């Protein structure tokens, strides 16, 4: 099948970018990224700079791939770009490929953006403070299957950033709430629950992500189907935390 591509090219963060036209002739069984591989091989042979894009596992789990395809993050299907196959496009179609666009995800080159803001939000509290070696037996704390399954659903987030890309405000609420809910739903997450919500939300704001207006585009476009109900749970924890937050007690450790 023959396709017309319009791809965002930008040599580095400070350069100005533009959409550049390319034509490819490919097999409809290819994945979207394999289609870009074909283009890049052709470009390299002609001595032109290949298109830079992030990708790694190509199994839909690492979260490295991104791409705004015809105005939708990860394209027309609810999946990651690496799991999107060309059979979902029509012969002769024009496909516009852009990077994620959000102030908190600065562009590095072509279709590659810097998503380290997500890591920094996790540094602020996306963990249970348990040192290696100090864990009790795994079956000591029973967790009802339904709660554990719910926690899993939130923990399934792959950190790709499609939620931010989909949001008109570039809000990261779905991403942040998925981590907060995952740990809030489990007994192990309880001791730090409120502090976690406060700290992660504060870091999210500091990174320059926008506010949430409950449009729901994030959840619709999420390749892992992370639910909006996570945001409700996060808001609850955040409000509870801000109402009940206490100054840290100073305790003498003794001799």
| Strand ranges inside the chain, DSSP E | 2-9, 18-25, 68-69, 72-73, 94-98, 107-109, 112-113
For other proteins, which is the closer residue by CB, 18 or 213?
18
List C-alpha distances in Å: 98 to 41, 91, 140, 145, 157: 20, 20, 49, 41, 22
State the Cα–Cα distance between residues 76 and 154, nearest whole angstrom.
23
Q: Nearer to other proteins by C-beta: 63 or 210?
A: 63
Q: How far is the CB of 88 from other proteins (least distance, A)?
A: 10
State which residue, 55 or 104, has the beta carbon closest to other proteins.
55
Closest residue by Cα to residue 87 from 48, 31, 158: 31
Length of the chain: 255
Cα 198 to chain centroid, rounded: 20
Q: Which is closer to other proteins, CB of 149 or CB of 214?
A: 149
Looking at the Cβ atoms of 106 and 211, the one nearer to other proteins is: 106
Compute the least distance from the CB of residue 35 to other proteins, in Å: 8
Taking the complex as a whole, the smallest distance from the CB of residue 159 to other proteins amounts, in Å, to 6
CB of 25 to other proteins, least distance (A): 11
Q: How far is the CB of 99 from other proteins (least distance, A)?
A: 13
- Reduced DSSP (H G I as helix, E B as strand, rest coil) percent helix, strand, coil of the chain, to 5: 35, 15, 50
The distance of closest approach from Cβ of residue 243 to other proteins in the complex, given in angstroms and rounded to an integer, is: 25
Between helix 116-123 and helix 193-206 the angle, nearest 10°, is 150
C-alpha 111, offset from chain centre = 15
Among 104, 118, 100, smallest CA distance to 179 is for 118
């Amino acid at each position: 099948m023959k396709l017309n591509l319009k791809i965002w090219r930008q040599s580095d963060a400070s350069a100005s970018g533009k959409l550049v036209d390319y034509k490819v002739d490919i097999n409809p069984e290819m994945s979207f990224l394999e289609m870009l591989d074909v283009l890049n091989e052709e470009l390299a042979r002609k001595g032109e700079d290949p298109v830079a894009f992030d990708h790694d596992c190509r199994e839909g789990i690492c979260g490295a791939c991104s791409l705004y395809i015809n105005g939708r993050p990860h394209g027309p299907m609810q999946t990651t770009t690496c799991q999107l196959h060309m059979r979902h496009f029509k012969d002769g179609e024009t496909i516009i490929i852009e990077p994620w666009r959000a102030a908190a995800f600065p562009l590095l080159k072509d279709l590659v953006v810097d998503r380290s803001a997500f890591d920094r939000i996790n540094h602020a509290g996306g963990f249970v403070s348990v040192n290696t070696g100090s864990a009790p037996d795994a079956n000591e704390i029973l967790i009802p299957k339904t709660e554990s399954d719910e926690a899993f659903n939130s923990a399934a987030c792959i950190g790709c950033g499609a939620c931010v890309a989909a949001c008109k405000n570039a809000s990261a609420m779905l991403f942040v709430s998925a981590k907060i809910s995952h740990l809030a739903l489990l007994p192990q997450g309880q001791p730090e629950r409120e502090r976690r919500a406060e700290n992660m939300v504060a870091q999210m704001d500091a990174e320059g992500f926008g506010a949430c207006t409950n449009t729901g585009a994030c959840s619709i476009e999420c390749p892992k189907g992370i639910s909006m109900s996570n945001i409700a749970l996060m808001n609850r924890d955040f409000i509870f935390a801000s109402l009940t937050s206490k100054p840290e007690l100073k305790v003498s450790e003794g001799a």
